[in-house]
A = this chain, B = another copy of it.
Amino acid sequence: MFAIVREPIDVSAVEDAARIPGAGASVTFVGIVRATGEDGRSVAGLSYESYDAMALAEFEAIAREARERHGGIGLAIVHRRGELKVGEIAVVVSASAPHRAAAFAACSYTIDELKSRAAIWKKELYVDGTPGRWCSNAGEART
């Protein structure tokens, strides 16, 4: 399951889609809209937009790389677009594998690469009504 959706993401459905036969471990990352912006300002929400064709192709490319690195894994990626409020889920990445080391590594690799490569953009909208700001992941430390 690789998707960009307008509606709230069903985390369980993403986990289920990532589950391979023989899985002994499933690791799921959920990205949530935070109340504090990159520069410390109070955030009312985030507005996401995407170039779906390129973003989805990138999801699949990242999944291929994760499989090459970590063997027989299952992977699902769903990102939301549109206006999200604080506390809402923006992205879910789920990985399953026979053992947990591969599931953790594949999940972590996928979200890192997604953030640095996928054609998705995010604008912080502020509580104080000041103009929103487009945020880049370029300077973000990899985990």
Using CB atoms and an 8 Å cutoff, list the residues of chain A in contact with chain B.
11-12, 15, 19, 21-36, 96, 98-101, 103-104, 107-108, 111, 141, 143
Name the residue on B nearest A24 (C-beta). Answer: B34
Contact partner, A32, options B11, B25, B104, B111, Cβ 8 Å = B25
Beta-carbon nearest neighbor of A115 in chain B: B100
User: Which chain B residues border A22 with CB–CB below 8 Å?
Assistant: 34-36
Chain B neighbourhood of A100, CB < 8 A? 29, 31, 111, 143
Residues A98 and B34 in contact, CB atoms below 8 Å apart: yes
Write the nearest CB–CB distance from A96 to chain B, whole angstroms.
Answer: 8
Contact residue among B12, B27, B35, B98 (Cβ-Cβ distance under 8 Å from A27): B27
Which residues of the partner chain B approach A35 to less than 8 Å between Cβ atoms?
21-22
Kindly identify which residue among B11, B21, B33, B111 contacts A12, using a CB–CB cutoff of 8 Å. B11
Cβ–Cβ contact B27 & A29, under 8 A: yes
C-alpha gap A104/B109 in the complex (Å): 11
Query: Which B residues are in CB contact (< 8 Å) with A21?
Result: 35
Residue of B nearest to A104 (CB): B108
User: Given A11-B15, A108-B104, A143-B100, are A28 and B30 also a contact pair (CB < 8 Å)?
Assistant: yes
